[in-house]
């Protein structure tokens, strides 16, 4: 006997989690499935920063996306009795005279007076900006606990095969999506039915299935033609005796407090190879950039890497499959998943539940 849910979500990263909440809040039932390895959300620093880059550019649609993110994370904190969203000023140190001049020309940017000269080498000064930080691990753990307590979470690997499976009536070359849950050798294809999907091995039926898989080398059969411009990123965790800075500090890279005298520093951008292996070059780059403004010695205590799911210059991609409306997609959060996920998860949930429109700029149809 199968249990029925409204939506199955593949992926418990920032995309799938925000979408699950958005659907639950609309009174729909969900099942989130994740294979619990890989993915980049658990490595992300969760920084939400209004002004980025050498040109001091305002982050895309900040005025809409940031209030949506604040409302979303704050309301979840209230509902779950947990704290994982922190609004705190961040410090940006000028790397060049051009940056400093540009900041003077921009309204709303004021020089930061309190930059400790014994900690930071910042002869050009810097400015403070209102920013936020999502404790991604805590947010995901809290969400998972909530989903699990309602039978709405499952650890399972979803894969594809090309030779078995007869249940999917796609009419194309694809023969099935398979899941290896408790026993990886036990696989069963998802079947697309007239009014939804079925996952026989998990005894689950759903109205729709949404792929929120981030960057994955194994392209799925429906949305697999979407081209990624994915970027690998590396992060160091460092111990810096004597440093008590509470703000995230930006100067070429960022340095974010992570406990007593412990900080995370990152991150790099590389376009090949797209794997999650930390490299000597990545470490050397972060260390050099850190030394460019940090006066204190540091010791590296951890080093991680992951791949950002970039599709199109920071635009997410979302919506239903043109041929199989019981399948949908939410991906492309790039390097700003904490900021983008709440707003666009809400847009996708409205679309899935009430037929609301997906903006053309982010509609997955544009990328297929």
Ligand X SMILES: Cc1cc2nc3c(=O)[nH]c(=O)nc-3n(C[C@H](O)[C@H](O)[C@H](O)COP(=O)(O)OP(=O)(O)OC[C@H]3O[C@@H](n4cnc5c(N)ncnc54)[C@H](O)[C@@H]3O)c2cc1C
Point out which residues bind ligand X (CB under 6 A). Answer: 10-16, 33-35, 37-41, 43-47, 157-159, 212-214, 216, 233, 235, 266-267, 306, 308-309, 331, 333-339
CB 239 within 8 A of CB 261: yes
CB 277 within 8 A of CB 218: no
| Minimum distance, C-beta of residue 25 to ligand X, in the bound complex (Å) | 18
| Minimum distance, C-beta of residue 105 to ligand X, in the bound complex (Å) | 27
Instruction: Show the tokens assigned to 190.
Output: 């998802």
Strand partners of residue 111: 127
| Minimum distance, C-beta of residue 304 to ligand X, in the bound complex (Å) | 7
Residue 43 or residue 56: which is nearer to ligand X going by CB?
A: 43
Residue 126 or residue 309: which is nearer to ligand X going by CB?
A: 309
Residue 160 or residue 293: which is nearer to ligand X going by CB?
A: 160
| Minimum distance, C-beta of residue 11 to ligand X, in the bound complex (Å) | 3
Give the C-alpha separation, 137 to 237, whole Å: 15
| Minimum distance, C-beta of residue 312 to ligand X, in the bound complex (Å) | 14
Question: How big is the chain, counted in residues?
Answer: 368
Strand partners of residue 321: none
Q: Is 258 exposed, middle or buried (0-12, 13-18, 19+ CB in 10 A)?
A: middle
Listed in sequence order, the residues at least 6 apart from 355 whose beta carbon sits closer than 8 Å to its beta carbon are none
Residue 251 or residue 308: which is nearer to ligand X going by CB?
A: 308
CB 23 within 8 A of CB 347: no
| Minimum distance, C-beta of residue 237 to ligand X, in the bound complex (Å) | 12
Residue 59 or residue 103: which is nearer to ligand X going by CB?
A: 59
| Minimum distance, C-beta of residue 232 to ligand X, in the bound complex (Å) | 7
CB 295 within 8 A of CB 120: yes
| Minimum distance, C-beta of residue 18 to ligand X, in the bound complex (Å) | 8
Going 249 to 252 to 254 to 260, the CA torsion angle's sign is negative
Residue 295 or residue 303: which is nearer to ligand X going by CB?
A: 303
Residue 184 or residue 295: which is nearer to ligand X going by CB?
A: 184
Residue 107 or residue 218: which is nearer to ligand X going by CB?
A: 218
Give the C-alpha separation, 368 to 360, whole Å: 13
Closest CA to 92 of 252, 263, 261, 240: 252
Closest CA to 12 of 110, 200, 105, 148: 148
Q: How many CB atoms lie within 10 A of CB 85?
A: 21
Give the C-alpha separation, 358 to 360, whole Å: 6
């Amino acid at each position: 006997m199968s249990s029925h849910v409204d939506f199955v979500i593949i992926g418990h990263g920032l995309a799938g989690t925000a979408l699950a909440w958005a659907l639950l809040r609309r009174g729909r039932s969900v099942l989130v499935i994740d294979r619990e390895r890989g993915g980049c959300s658990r490595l992300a620093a969760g920084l939400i920063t209004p002004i980025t880059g050498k040109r001091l550019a305002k982050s895309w649609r900040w005025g809409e996306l940031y209030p949506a993110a604040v409302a979303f994370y704050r309301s979840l904190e209230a509902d779950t009795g947990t704290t994982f969203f922190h609004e705190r000023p961040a410090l940006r140190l000028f790397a060049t005279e051009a940056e400093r001049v540009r900041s003077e020309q921009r309204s709303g940017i004021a020089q930061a007076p309190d930059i400790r000269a014994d900690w930071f080498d910042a002869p050009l000064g810097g400015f403070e900006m209102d920013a936020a930080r999502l404790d991604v691990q805590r947010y995901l753990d809290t969400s998972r606990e909530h989903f699990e307590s309602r039978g709405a979470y499952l650890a399972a690997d979803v894969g594809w095969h090309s030779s078995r499976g007869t249940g999917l009536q796609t009419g194309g070359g694809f023969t099935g999506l398979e899941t290896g849950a408790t026993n990886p050798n036990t696989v069963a294809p998802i079947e697309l039915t007239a009014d939804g999907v079925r996952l026989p091995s998990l005894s689950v039926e759903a109205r729709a299935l949404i792929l929120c898989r981030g960057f994955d080398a194994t392209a799925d059969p429906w949305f697999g033609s979407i081209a990624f411009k994915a970027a690998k990123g590396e992060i160091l965790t460092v111990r810096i005796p004597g440093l008590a800075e509470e703000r995230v500090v930006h100067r070429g890279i960022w340095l974010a407090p992570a406990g007593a005298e412990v900080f995370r520093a990152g991150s790099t951008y590389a376009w090949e190879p797209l794997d999650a292996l930390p490299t000597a070059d990545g470490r050397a780059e972060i260390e050099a950039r850190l030394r460019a403004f940090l006066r204190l010695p540091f010791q590296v205590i951890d080093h991680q890497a992951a791949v950002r799911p970039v599709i199109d210059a920071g635009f997410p991609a979302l919506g239903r499959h043109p041929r199989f409306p019981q399948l949908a997609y939410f991906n492309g959060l790039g390097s700003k998943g904490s900021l983008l996920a709440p707003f666009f998860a809400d847009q996708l949930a409205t679309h899935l539940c009430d037929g609301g429109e997906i903006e053309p700029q982010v509609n997955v149809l544009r990328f297929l």
